[in-house]
Amino acid sequence: MQKIMVGFILMICMSCENKQSEKHATKSVRLVTLDPGHFHAALVQKSMYESVDSIVHVYAPSCPDVQLHLDRIIAYNTRKENPTHWKEAVYEGDDFFEEMLAEKKGNVVVLAGNNRKKTDYIYKSLNAGFNVLADKPMTITSDGFQILEKAFEVARKNNLVLYDIMTERFEITSILQREFSMLPEVFGEMEKGTADNPAVIKKGIHYFYKYVSGNVLKRPPWFMDIAQEGNGIVDVTTHLVDLVQWECFPEQIIDYKKDIEVLKAKRWTTDMTLHEFNSIAGLKNFPDYLKSIVKNDSILGVYCNGEINYRIKGVHAKVSVEWNYKTSVGGDTHYSIMRGTKANLIVRQGAEENFQPTLYIEPTHVYPSYETLLQKELKKVQDKYPGIELKKMNKQWMVIIPDKYKEGHEAHFARVTENFLEYLQKKNMPAWEVPNILAKYYTTTKALELATKK
């Protein structure tokens, strides 16, 4: 075992030590980062927060993931614009989890890493009195889902907050798609759809090789292992299922036992050469735990793609996620359609949109008074989001969004964390959040059951 204080992150004048000690004493939130194997753990700390102590305790096994995490924090601390001033106290050792529970150096555990043990970490951390902010997915199996249900019960009994990081709720086109869907004069009512023609479709396309915070993302080799990262159908698909619930049924409680019916699900692989694997994982050979999915001694087949067809509160929905290795243009993309009786609300992010998510309003029937009604109802959206405009394009309208609303994916982590901190301090988490989190993970884990049976 090894305990280290990372000195070169300590960017505070020693003469100010007493003042800093007084300042730390006023901070009500003290973060503990547990086994930060995913870059999302660092993104939580890309910003500073008024109520959060700058000293963060990190507990992890001795592995390269720890240094990658610390390097990202150093980059935030040393950037020219709005640098952070985090100070990381690191404990490395095989008993890192037990040490975290015993020392209890903080009151909030941040979890973003290997998903195989994540649900167990959540449950035991709550039992030890920690609040938990967890990256998705909170669970990757049906057995894990049952533990997650118990974890939320522990949180309720002990007045603790358990929350997952749903960044896509802060993407402006998703926000506006939701806003326009709540205008009956514009959208009408949500269609019910059918299994062959769902009323809501969400599709995400992702890439293994990409840039994060300006650098090529180094992925841990276990990221390609479905036993540790999870199948794609229970991983990134979590965001899409969450958006279906959040947009189609705003502020409504969803009971997975009566409101969710998973109809069909499938999964498939993305193939990766050894050279490609080396480029993102930094290993010259496939580790032993991946060799069972290696074809012809050189091609890795990763079950990172998935599709779920399901019914939610009587509405047919389809979500799907695809992973490619690398793109020559653009980056991760999102497609979404919500079908209403008066209009479809469509988010596209293709070449025509310069790979920027763009929202369109497409009336199902064109009649003279619709444009007048649309412009009138637009004012309700503008009251919340000043500067939003519409541009007519043949038989549809493009929603023109000012740049001030277009935050990047990395900035959304601060938004989620701010929400979590408010729930933690004011105990005002909406009543629908917990049941809807459970509905989300029931949907993904049930879908995996169906997909793997085939």
Predicted confidence at residue 134, as pLDDT, reads 98
Predicted confidence at residue 12, as pLDDT, reads 34
Q: For residue 351, what are the contacts with CB-CB under 8 A and spacing of at least 6?
A: 329, 330
Predicted confidence at residue 21, as pLDDT, reads 42
Predicted confidence at residue 276, as pLDDT, reads 95
Work out the burial of residue 395: count CB atoms within 10 Å of its CB; fewer than 13 is exposed, 13-18 middle, 19 or more buried.
exposed
CATH number for region 168-408+429-453: 3.30.360.10
Predicted confidence at residue 14, as pLDDT, reads 31
Predicted confidence at residue 366, as pLDDT, reads 78
3-state secondary structure 14-40: HHHHHHHHHHHHCCCECEEEECCCCCH
135 DSSP 8-state letter: P
pTM of the model: 0.91
Distance of CA 447 to the CA centre of its chain: 19
Predicted confidence at residue 8, as pLDDT, reads 39
| Greatest Cα pair distance in the chain | 73
SS3 158: coil
Q: What is the CA radius of gyration of the chain?
A: 23
Domain ranges of the chain: 2-165, 168-408+429-453
Distance of CA 277 to the CA centre of its chain: 24
CATH number for region 2-165: 3.40.50.720
The rounded average pLDDT for each run of 10 residues, N- to C-terminus, in the chain (454 residues) is 47 37 65 95 97 98 94 96 97 97 97 95 98 97 97 98 97 98 97 97 94 82 92 96 98 98 97 95 94 91 97 98 87 93 96 93 90 96 98 94 93 96 97 98 98 86
Tell me if domain 2-165 and domain 168-408+429-453 are identical in fold: no
DSSP letters spanning 197-254: SBSEEEEEEEESS-EETTEEPPPPGGGG-TTTT--GGGTTHHHHHHHHHHHHSTT---
Distance of CA 451 to the CA centre of its chain: 22
* Cα–Cα distance for residue pair 383/377, rounded to 1 Å: 10
